[in-house]
Amino acid sequence: MTIQEARQSLQTKLSTIYDPREAANITDWVLESLTGLGRSARLVKAHEPLNAEQEGRLMDYIPDLLRHRPVQYVLEEAWFHGLRFYVNENVLIPRPETEELVEWIIEEHKDTEALTILDIGTGSGCIPISLKKALPQATVYSCDVSEGALEVARRNAKDLDAAIHFLQQDILYQELWSTLPGVDIIVSNPPYIPEKDKSTMHANVLEHEPHLALFVSNNDPLTFYEAIANLALQKLNDNGAVYAEIHEDLGSATLALFQEKGFGRAAVRKDMQNKERMIKAAELTSR
């Protein structure tokens, strides 16, 4: 099977469950991972055959892809902030909007000489590792309730040569906060999707990504933000700030929560799709 034949065959199969553009994108991703060749190089070498190992892996991938298993899990890789991360079903697939949150922190702290960061809900480790790579002067801590997620994050930190202090911690249990350090920045992409929204979500998310990292109660969708704000009352250093990803429909409510907790300066930021997806809370006046 040549590279061109593999592309045509896979894209045709994927077009039965995805729109043509997405089928083409997934096909490109799979073939680049298999061959190590970018799109232009694959065009030049279109008539070269896949080797037996590559063809065997492709045959293994197809059934998973056709049952809507995300390509990132099939290939065990996801790109985030220019870095390749190992991923499996223990962690969420990193998203572009989370890169915007990371960029916000970098742009505001790239010239800060000393910095201590706490990431809450590490998942794949994409946030703390990307921050450490961009802000090497920072001391970075990261916690998650899931041991499976921490195993993935530790693997990524080792592979990407990023010194991160990982902790297993359920942030909702205040009695455990004494083990956490004082920090200049708290950053988090916590669970924030109300259970009622499941009916509107794609099968590839619902059936494969960890619900523990996605969903919260319909009755208390801001439970993690309240915990983060309360943690900040204890652990945030003077002039520190909280940065968090938020639900696009709960920007005003999340902003009000941080203001009520004593943050004198809090603001919601829109992402590239003009959705309210991030918040920064600073100038903590209530201790």
Domain boundaries, the chain: 3-67, 89-284
Collect all residues with Cβ–Cβ distance below 8 Å to 64 and sequence separation of at least 6. Answer: 73, 74
Which long-range contacts link 10-15 to residues 24+ away (Cβ below 8 Å)?
10/58, 10/62, 10/65, 13/62, 13/65, 13/66, 14/65, 14/66
What 8-state DSSP symbol labels residue 79?
E
Mean pLDDT, contiguous 10-residue spans, the chain (287 residues): 95 94 95 94 94 95 94 96 96 93 96 94 97 97 95 98 96 90 95 61 59 59 91 94 94 95 94 94 77
Give pLDDT, residue 59: 96
89-284 sits in which CATH class?
A: alpha beta
* Residue 200: per-residue pLDDT: 60
Which pLDDT does position 221 carry in this prediction? Answer: 82
